[in-house]
Structure 1
Amino acid sequence: MSTTKTGVDAKALARKRFEGVWEVIRAELLAHFEAQGMPIEAREWYKRNLDYNTPGGKLNRGMSVVDSVQILRGRSLTDDEYLKAAILGWCIELLQAFFLVSDDIMDQSVTRRGQPCWYKLDSVGNIAINDAFMLEAAIYHLLKSHFRQESYYVNLLELFHEMSHLTEMGQLVDLITAPEDAVDLSKFSLDKHHFIVIYKTAYYSFYLPVALAMYMTHIPTTYTLGSTSTDPYKLALDILLPLGEYFQIQDDFLDYSGTPEQIGKIGTDIIDNKCSWCINAALAIATPAQRQVLDENYGQKDAAKEARVKALYEEIGLPAKYKAYEEAAYQRIMGMIQQIPEVEVKPTYANEPAVLQRQVFKVFLDKIYKRTK
């Protein structure tokens, strides 16, 4: 068996185990529903909501919690530790589901993950608004059920509340900057894109999984790394926000340059008037004539106009500009990771505090660097 095949098999097994915890979580949430005296039709609706919107994606955010806990512990996890880490991971996936159901309504999207958006289903409609709230509420029920006795319980609550708030701030700026039906490129800029990406994506997709793992492994808010007193959570944030921005810029570029076979979808950022890195990078260097082309063609539901924008991207050398950005981002993030003092990895147990490891961040970066899908 080749190494590649072994890696694929290991990834599939890891996903299968993680998905097995979803069965446990769903049963628990439905049992709570039944204990509240909810009628059978409401329980069936809730089950459908949970299953339609929560599993089914890449699950990278959720599984990153498990991976990070294992790296920080320096050993394989016990069954109880795995369950707790996976529950925290599924809480992120529930948060993601809450955001996506809401976002699809706001954007009037048609499909999500290759199927109709939840609100688009017959009989759902605006009930999806309440369903989104219920996906979010499930997070706090699970945290209370499984972590109330833990010393870091309040940290988990505050972290989820803060990440939700910051993400919603980013969503607000995105919505008022780039409404699909009112194109105004004067509202766009690389600074605006940076803000949207950090707040809308980087906090909950990159910092949240690692911070949850750090709390679960009892990493304190201040300790000595090398010869200086350090806040490891601030250190993690300083690395993971740029890493999240790099990921989103990469995603933006693939939307323009990738094929449907590569990225699993047809890129729509240009016709949907998205405030993506590509348009902002183009606007930053466009001549007046090129700017006019962008003003006349960007954000239009017209294949010919979309093609004109793509041709202009090629004309101004956007692929080369992206390649230069990617290399600079990789080197900058690697430099930040290397600022974490290397320490001998020793297995830690129970309530024994772990120590922040470079490998937590290298795993994230290695998954992203030069990806093509």
Structure 2
Amino acid sequence: MADLKSKFLKVYSVLKSELLEDPAFDFTKDSRQWVERMLDYNVPGGKLNRGLSVIDSYQLLQQGRELTEDEIFLASALGWCIEWLQAFFLVLDDIMDGSHTRRGQPCWFRLPKVGMIAVNDGVVLRNHIPRILRKYFREKPYYADLLDLFNEVEFQTASGQMIDLITTIEGEKDLSKYSLSIHRRIVQYKTAYYSFYLSVACALLMSGEELEKHIDVKNILVEMGIYFQVQDDYLDCFGDPETIGKIGTDIEDFKCSWLVVKALELCNEEQKKVLHENYGKPDPENVATVKALYKELDIEGVFADYESKSYKKLTSWIEGHPSKAVQAVLKSFLGKIYKRQK
């Protein structure tokens, strides 16, 4: 795995060098330096799970056949396209949320001299993806499918972000809008497609498969993505900031979090009043009151129950899939996220 990760990081260096010499734009010394610094700060800093999953998935779909260097490079390039997409979303997401930290360091837009230039940097990051795809996949029979896939997933993610933002409009803090079905919709579109489906879809296309024939795989991965986000919501409140690399602000930000939705389902009228009065307020006392209510309702226990039921349900769906290779891909995903701490 360490070897794979170091190979993967080498591909990042190759792609970055090529983008900094892209013939479509005449770089100045300053602009080249800016883009390089912006890329190094935002693209390779995370866990790289989404990107590495393309290589893992493609390898598993080949059922034991050793991959050629060219195949590893192409799978890595697609993996990096997903990491670029993630960087684009996160740079803009942090601005919209007014966040302070990301991956254990200040958000890009918080850096001196960056500020709102970060908005354009996000657009640049997004535009690097078709440049990479064009260079390496233009002659492949699945090139159009790849472009379609990235465009569709980006559209789904942006639409999910929109539902999230309009559900939490400033000055309209109304908890009665929040429900499990709204939470599920936000998560399905905002997170599940790009974080789970996209990696496997890239590997399937590289393997010569047609995505229309794998709707069941998409559905299982979307369910897995929803489970992953529920874990994220849980870790935002109960996780260790040192471990997860950020300070959770879902309570202050009035987020439609799984925790608040479950709390609303479980609490009595008096507790509901406490939640309405304290949720979405920046004061640490209000936040502490909400967390105390979560403890009172045993939200941690409710989550543990949800986690074990989700794991059983997903495992039985995966085992029902006719292809052993696809089963291996899906089991590998589930294994990576079950009971994660970050």
Instruction: Calculate the TM-score normalised by the size of structure 1.
Output: 0.88
Q: Choose from 156, 161, 168 the match for 1:171.
A: 161
2:33 to 17, 41, 44: 44
Contact 1:180 1:272 in 2 (8 A): no
Per the TM alignment, residue 183 of structure 1 is displaced from its structure 2 partner at its CA by: 2.7
Q: Secondary structure at the match of 1:170?
A: helix
**1:122-146 deviation line (CA, Å, top 9, x unaligned):** 2222221111111011000010000
Q: Secondary structure of the equivalent of 2:20?
A: helix
CA distance in 2: counterparts of 1:245 and 1:28, whole angstroms: 36
CA-to-partner distance for each residue in 1:283-321, whole Å, 9 max, x for gaps? 112211111000111111122221111111121121221
1:318: which partner in 2? 299
Q: Assess, with a 3 A threshold, how the Cα gap between structure 1 residues 267 and 221 changes in structure 2: closer, same or farther.
A: closer
1:208 aligned residue:
198
Contact 1:297 1:308 in 2 (8 A): yes
Report the identity percentage: 50
- 8 Å CA contact 1:94–1:136 kept in 2: the answer is yes
Q: 1:239 is matched with which residue?
A: 220
Cα deviations by residue, 1:325-364 (Å, 9 ceiling, x for unpaired): 1111111111111111255xxxxxxxxxxxx520000001
- CA 1:204–1:111: 2 relative to 1, 3 Å: same
Q: 2:79 aligns with which of 85, 89, 93?
A: 89
Matched, 1:133 2:123: yes
1:124 aligned onto 2:107? no
Q: Runs of 5+ in structure 2 lacking a partner? A: none
Q: Kindly tell me: are residues 110 and 265 of structure 1, through their superposed partners in 2, closer, same or farther at Cα, counting changes over 3 Å?
A: closer
| Structural mapping, 1:1-373, within 5 Å | 11-32=1-22, 36-74=25-63, 75-179=65-169, 182-221=172-211, 231-232=213-214, 234-343=215-324, 356-373=325-342
Residue pair 1:179, 1:273 contacting (<8 A) in 2 also:
no
Contact 1:283 1:291 in 2 (8 A): yes
Distance 2:171 2:30 in 1: 38
Q: CA deviation at 1:247?
A: 0.6
In the TM superposition, what is the alpha-carbon distance from 1:111 to its structure 2 partner? Answer: 2.1
Q: Which amino acid in 2 is paired with 1:280?
A: V
1:63 & 1:168 partners in 2: Cα distance?
23
Aligned length, in residue pairs: 341
Report the more deviating stretch, 111-120 or 204-213.
Answer: 111-120
Cα pair 1:95 1:139 within 8 Å, conserved:
yes
Shift of 1:180: 6.0
Q: Indicate the RMSD between aligned Cα atoms, in angstroms.
A: 1.6
Q: Once the 2 structures are TM-superposed, how far is the Cα of residue 63 of structure 1 from its aligned partner?
A: 0.5
Query: Do 1:180 and 1:299's aligned partners in 2 also have CA atoms closer than 8 Å?
Result: no
**1:2-42 Cα distance to aligned partner (Å, 9 max, x none):** xxxxxxxxx33322221111000001101115x63222211
Segments of structure 1 that go 5 or more residues without pairing to the other structure are 1-10, 223-230, 344-355
Partners of 1:221 and 1:361 lie apart in 2 by 15
Question: Does the CA contact (< 8 Å) of 2:236 and 2:250 recur in 1?
Answer: yes
Distance 1:247 1:272, change over 3 A: same
Aligned partner of residue 332 in structure 1, secondary structure? helix
Residue identity opposite 2:16 in structure 1: R
Matching residue's letter, 2:49: N
Are the structure 2 counterparts of residues 123 and 62 from structure 1 closer, same or farther at C-alpha, using a change threshold of 3 Å? same
Post-superposition CA distance 1:63-108 (Å, at most 9, x none): 0001001111122311100000000000000000110111112122
Query: What CA deviation, in whole Å up to 9, does each residue of 1:143-200 have, x standing for no partner?
Result: 0000000000000000000000000000001111124665321221111110000000
Alpha-carbon separation, structure 2, partners of 1:275 and 1:17: 39
Distance 1:77 1:93 in 2: 22
- SS of 1:38's partner is coil
TM-score in terms of structure 2 length: 0.95
| Contact 2:46–2:103 (Cα < 8 Å) also in 1 | yes
Distance 1:281 1:217 in 2: 41
Q: Is the 8 A contact 2:101 2:246 kept in 1?
A: no
- Counterpart CA distance in 2 for 1:244 and 1:110 is 25
